[in-house]
Amino acid sequence: MKKIIFVIFLVFTFTATSFAGVQWRTRTVTEAEAKGQSNTIIMQVYASGGNVKQVFESVDKENDMFRKGSYWLYQAKDNILYMVNPEEKTYSRLPMNALIQMTGAVGKLVKIKISNPVVKNEKLGSAPVLGYPCRHSRQLVEYDMEVKIAIIKNRSHEKIEKEVWSTPSFKGMAEMGEAFRFRDFKTGIEDLDNLIEKQMKADAELGFPLKMITVNTSVNKKGKSKVTQRQTMEVLSLGSKSLHASFFAVPSGYEEKQMGFGGEEE
C-alpha cells in the first residue's frame, strides 16, 4: 500500500512540474531510510500541449521504474503514463484511473486514517537561479497517520518539509494544468484524497521549481523522530523547444509488458 501511495505522489509531482513547449534537464539525489529507495537520477524532460516525456540519462541504482535510456511518456488525452524501454523494445501501461481505483480497493483491506492535516507555504524572499528571478519559499505538510491491518495498528506523525526556489517567468503552467483540472483524482479514501488535494493546491502556488530540497520525517507513537528521506532536485538547464505530437507516441512494434508493484517495503 505504501508503494502504491508513493507512486501516486511521484506521478503527481512529475506532472505538476511540467508545461508546454519546453525542455529541461534535472539531477535528483534521494537519500532514504527504506531499502532500495536511495538513488541519483539525471533526466531530460520534454513537454508540449500537456504531453510529457521524461528520459533517464543516468540512474545510479536501476530498477523497473528507473532505468538508463528508458523514459516515461505521459499522454494527456488518455490520462495514461507509459514506461518505455527502447533497449528491450517494450512498454508498460499505467492508466492513472486504474491506479487510483486500485488504491481505493487496497484501502478497503488496509485501513488508513489521516487526521490533523496541515499544509503551509512561507515566503522567504527572492533569489536568482540559472539567471531567472525565483521565489524562495518553504512548504510544510504535517499529518497524523494510522494504518490498521487486521488487529495490528501503527500510528505515526508524518512531516514533509520543502525548501523551494521557483520562477514565475515561464508561461504555460496554466495550460499544463488544464490537462488535470477536470480529472477526478479520487481514490475513495477520503482522508488521503483531502490531503492530496491540499498539497496539489499548495504546490500550484509555488510556480516552476528550479531547485527543491524535500525532507520527510516520521515520529512514532513513542515520540521518536527519524528522517526517512531527503531529496534534492536541481534543474541543470532549460529552454523552449517545438515538439511534434509524434515525439510523444510509443514507437510502433514495441511489445507491451505487464507492470507489477512487487512486495511492500517499510
What number is the average pLDDT over the span 3-25?
57
Give the pLDDT band (50/70/90) at residue 237.
very high
Query: Pick from 1, 6, 19: which is nearest to 180 by CA?
Result: 19
Residue with cell 521565489: 135
Residue with cell 507491451: 256
Burial of 225 (0-12, 13-18, 19+ CB in 10 A): exposed
Most confident range, picked from 7-16, 45-54, 72-81, 220-229: 220-229
Give the pLDDT confidence score for residue 182 in this predicted structure: 38
Cell numbers found for residue 29: 539525489
pLDDT in the model for residue 138: 94
pLDDT higher at 188 or 17: 188
* 163 within 8 A of 123, measured Cβ to Cβ: no
Give the confidence band of 39 by pLDDT, cuts at 50, 70, 90. Answer: very high
* Contact yes or no for 227/214 (Cβ under 8 A): no
DSSP run (H or E) holding 191: helix 190-204
Least confident of 42-46, 49-53, 185-189, 226-230: 185-189
Residue 195: closest CA among 4, 37, 3, 8: 8
Model confidence over 167-196: pLDDT tens digits?
887 653 544 444 444 345 556 667 777 777
* 266, amino acid identity: E
Does 240 have pLDDT greater than 90? no
Q: Would you say 230 and 31 are in contact if contact means Cβ atoms under 8 Å apart?
A: yes
Say how far residue 51 (Cα) sits from the centre of its chain: 16
Does the CA dihedral 32-34-40-42 come out positive or negative? Answer: negative
Count of residues for the chain? 266
CB 248 within 8 A of CB 53: yes
Domain boundaries, the chain: 2-256
pLDDT digits (tens, 9 = 90+) for 125-144: 999 999 989 999 999 999 99
Three-state secondary-structure class, residue 82 = strand
- How many angstroms separate the first and last alpha carbons of the chain? 10
Cell of 26: 534535472
User: What CATH architecture applies to the domain 2-256?
Assistant: Clam (2.50)
What pLDDT was estimated at residue 11?
52
pTM over 0.75: yes
For residue 34, the model assigns a pLDDT of 83
* Amino acid type, 171: K
pLDDT of residue 199: 74
